[in-house]
Structure 1
Amino acid sequence: MIDQESFRTDVLTYFGATAAQKEELLIYNQNVFKRNSSINSVKFPLNPEPHIATWEEYAIAAKVIGAFEVLKKRLVQLRFPIQEGISQTQAYRTATRKGVLVDGMAEATGLILQQPQQLQLILHQSLAGTIPVLLVRNREDFVSLVQALTQRNEPQPIPASMGACIVSGFNNWDRIRQYRRQWETLNSGNCSETNWTAEFQRLIPQKQLYQDTFIILSDGFYSNVYPSNLGLEESQWQRLSLTIRLEHECTHYFTRRLFGSMRNNILDELIADYRGIVAAIGYYPADWFLYFLGLESFPNYREGGRLQNYRGQPPLSDGAFEILQALVKAAAENLQRFHTEFTSEAVINNQAQILVALSYLRLEELAAPEATSHIQKTLNNLPTTLPI
């Protein structure tokens, strides 16, 4: 595996980066996925995380009274409207940070959805294990749910190119209350408020007992790209969009569970879109990915394309962003070439191996002229016992 900084620097020189731009991009394109020897024995799909048992209860109840009715009783953020400044109110802070019950709170007027009955709760079996999915059929409702569950009910703008969101590290007060009820049952006669406070302090480090991961998914056109742009019928593109979007988000879940990271970074997006596109149509056309990002007319960039969502913090300079566009185009075309020339049917059927191999590389390696051999060598060096 090639990971020398000098190699990456040479690639950036090849693409015309200045010294300052190289410095920016070497930092931006760092691979932060954590490695450990347990990857050699992992089996896919991964076992479900602890929160899935609770979400299975939600899913059963949703079949009777509907997903929104179930979730607004369990997820406290859905008891508040989208309103500027609401996250700074005492009521909101005590409800979401301390688990204070919202009954009687004047501010807790409820989240308004345009089509609440259309919200679906699905437990999707992904390569990384079962993950809850909130499927939203209305764009305004998707925006409202993202704002409620990731933006503390503040009316933060959501890009039109964003059609899905993976929520990780979500503090689920319903699970904490379930934990408390079980604790009280086991400690009857010794479960005073003082004792619970002490028990709660012991609970806090055990995040798996109260933090959840789930996906909010819309059914609109993927990356806000219209079917005519890809030569497809509307119904066909809507169906494919849903698959791409779902498997894209599941790939972020895959890297988080396996390698401890999912970022707002173009390498993560390249890997996730690869998985989504292949899951949808069985092969990888680079021009689709470039259209999703706004690079279909490279070297011209289409304002509003997804790539600008991954410019980094602090954002890449204009010059470094232009070099990044060239790297992304080359990497996508190399990935298409690899998929066409090197992947056997057995490997295509084991997408987990390819995702693991791609996660070992950096954008410069994927953009280099010899990228296909980098990917193949990395794939060959993986353990052959990664069953799917």
Structure 2
Amino acid sequence: MSYLQFWTETLGAYGASESETLELLTYNQNIFDPSLLTHLDEPQPELYLATWAEYVQAAANIGADAALKPHLVQFQFPILAGISTTPEYRAATRKGESTAAMATAVGLTLLEPERLQLDLHPTLAGEIPVLVAGNRADFVSLVQALTRRNEPEPIPDSMGACIVSGYNNWHRVRQYQQQWLEQNAQGDWAVEFQELIKRPELYRDRFILLSRGAYSNVAASELGLGAEEWIELSGKIRREHESTHYITRRWFGSMRNNILDEIIADYRGIVAANGEYRADWFLRFVGLEAFPNYRAGGRLENYRGEPPLSPGAFIVLQRLVKAAAENLERFDRKFGQSARTRESEIAILIALTTLRLEELASERGVELIETATIASDSRSNSLDNP
């Protein structure tokens, strides 16, 4: 049986019509690129980390808000409808012009700036900066400032974290300019700047934004947990979830708004927080705790695709997600009998990136995960020991 036939038959088994099958075959494309993974033992730190290490050190002394405001230009503007179209905002964010004399640069207002925390978090692929808001309102403001150009666009209640990727850091540009001019006193900076633009690693950053609230807007009582315990667990899930997106982007060249990415990231987040995977937790996070009914506002609707899946295809997607989560739990229970190590984490992560949602949800799902994990373990060993 060909792969396409297997995927098609699986979708049919879950009730997909011919048109819905075509939709889902497209939506479920796995674009993780394993050929990009060349080494695992000592990932090279990305260039922006040196500057962010300076921010972390400053934050330890004066607080994260005060440490970041002089350097991240969006911290210098309020959340205001239409601000992104003003000449001053464009000049500051697109050209790196100083905001010192700009009337609109009155600063980003946070309710609890003293609770803003910044650190460098270690992941399987190396460190990444993590910025944690003190409360929900401040998290929303940070997301709006850093990913919505300081516009007051609505942020879903189910969203408690995000990765800011490809952030143009004008502070790093100025650092580079100062160093270059010291070494090339007679040089033409305008010419060099055009060369700099061709090297995004010299000015584009990645970092994680986290909130402190309940994960996926799920109350502690819904999981039978105490409020404080759930907030602590939520932080661990959220941090590892976003770290996983960073890993897949760096190792496999992909970080999408797709349910496969979410299944993988939540798997690692739940295991990091709970010690083992809980399918019932994940299903509640995405709005499928009362399957076959879907709870409006659950996270699954955030990953419906572009263009969005039709109503019928979305129902089939719900069935696939439920089965995939349950298969993943069965696999994890078998795996949990052995010790969790960095090597085993890597093997499982690589394995999950090689499978499609149809495969995870199929009757052979557990077997396919196991087989892929064994193959991934062999591959990771060969990468570590060339």
Give the TM-score band, short-chain normalised. Answer: over 0.9
For 1:365, which of 359, 362, 382 is the aligned residue? 359
For 2:349, which of 334, 355, 358 is the aligned residue? 355
> What is the aligned partner in structure 1 of residue 96 from structure 2?
99
Counterpart Cα distance in 1 of 2:51 and 2:323: 44
Q: Is the Cα contact below 8 Å between 2:118 and 2:130 reproduced in 1?
A: yes
Counterpart Cα distance in 1 of 2:2 and 2:255: 20
**Residue type of the alignment partner of 1:42:** L
> What is the aligned partner in structure 1 of residue 165 from structure 2?
168
CA change 1:101–1:67 in 2 (3 A) is same
What TM-score do the two structures reach when normalised by structure 1?
Answer: 0.95
Alignment of 1:12-31 (within 5 A): 12-31=11-30
> What is the aligned partner in structure 2 of residue 11 from structure 1?
10
Counterpart Cα distance in 2 of 1:5 and 1:149: 41
**Residue type of the alignment partner of 1:242:** G
Identity %: 57
Q: Is the Cα contact below 8 Å between 1:347 and 1:354 reproduced in 2?
A: no
What TM-score do the two structures reach when normalised by structure 2?
Answer: 0.96
Counterpart Cα distance in 2 of 1:251 and 1:22: 29
Counterpart Cα distance in 2 of 1:378 and 1:344: 18
Residue 230 (structure 2) pairs with residue 237 (structure 1): yes
> What is the aligned partner in structure 1 of residue 306 from structure 2?
313
**Runs (5+) with no aligned partner, structure 1:** none
> What is the aligned partner in structure 2 of residue 70 from structure 1?
67
Q: Is the Cα contact below 8 Å between 1:113 and 1:141 reproduced in 2?
A: yes
CA change 1:174–1:37 in 2 (3 A) is closer
Count of aligned residue pairs for this structure pair:
380
Counterpart Cα distance in 2 of 1:311 and 1:302: 14
Deviation at residue 384 of structure 1 after TM alignment:
4.7
Deviation at residue 81 of structure 1 after TM alignment:
0.5
1:282-327: CA deviation from partner (whole Å, max 9, x where unpaired): 1111000000000000010001111011011111111000000000
Q: Is the Cα contact below 8 Å between 1:82 and 1:155 reproduced in 2?
A: yes
Q: Is the Cα contact below 8 Å between 1:264 and 1:312 reproduced in 2?
A: yes
**Residue type of the alignment partner of 1:358:** L
For 1:278, which of 271, 274, 278 is the aligned residue? 271
Counterpart Cα distance in 2 of 1:140 and 1:157: 12
Alignment partner of 2:69: what SS? helix
Deviation at residue 342 of structure 1 after TM alignment:
4.0
Q: Is the Cα contact below 8 Å between 2:92 and 2:98 reproduced in 1?
A: yes
Alignment partner of 1:133: what SS? strand
> What is the aligned partner in structure 1 of residue 111 from structure 2?
114
1:327-368: CA deviation from partner (whole Å, max 9, x where unpaired): 000000000011112455245652121111100000000000
**Residue type of the alignment partner of 1:287:** D
For 1:303, which of 296, 315, 320 is the aligned residue? 296
CA change 1:246–1:37 in 2 (3 A) is closer
1:100-156: CA deviation from partner (whole Å, max 9, x where unpaired): 111111111111000111101111111121110101121110000000000000001
Which segment is superposed worse, 291-300 or 58-67?
Answer: 58-67
Counterpart Cα distance in 2 of 1:78 and 1:3: 53
Counterpart Cα distance in 2 of 1:24 and 1:114: 44
**Residue type of the alignment partner of 1:5:** L
For 1:211, which of 201, 204, 208 is the aligned residue? 204
> What is the aligned partner in structure 1 of residue 213 from structure 2?
220
Q: Is the Cα contact below 8 Å between 2:346 and 2:380 reproduced in 1?
A: no
**Runs (5+) with no aligned partner, structure 2:** none
Moved segments of 4+, more than 4 Å: 346-349
Residue 323 (structure 2) pairs with residue 324 (structure 1): no
**Residue type of the alignment partner of 2:123:** S
**Residue type of the alignment partner of 2:41:** K
Counterpart Cα distance in 1 of 2:300 and 2:341: 27
CA change 1:157–1:3 in 2 (3 A) is farther
Deviation at residue 42 of structure 1 after TM alignment:
2.3
CA change 1:372–1:36 in 2 (3 A) is same
Counterpart Cα distance in 2 of 1:37 and 1:363: 22
1:1-42: CA deviation from partner (whole Å, max 9, x where unpaired): x98222111100000100110111011000011121744x42
Deviation at residue 223 of structure 1 after TM alignment:
0.3
Counterpart Cα distance in 2 of 1:237 and 1:268: 23
> What is the aligned partner in structure 1 of residue 142 from structure 2?
145
Counterpart Cα distance in 2 of 1:119 and 1:37: 35
Higher relative contact order (CA 8 A, sep 6+): 1
Counterpart Cα distance in 2 of 1:341 and 1:298: 25
Q: Is the Cα contact below 8 Å between 2:215 and 2:285 reproduced in 1?
A: yes
Counterpart Cα distance in 2 of 1:375 and 1:68: 44
Q: Is the Cα contact below 8 Å between 2:36 and 2:252 reproduced in 1?
A: no
Alignment partner of 2:70: what SS? helix
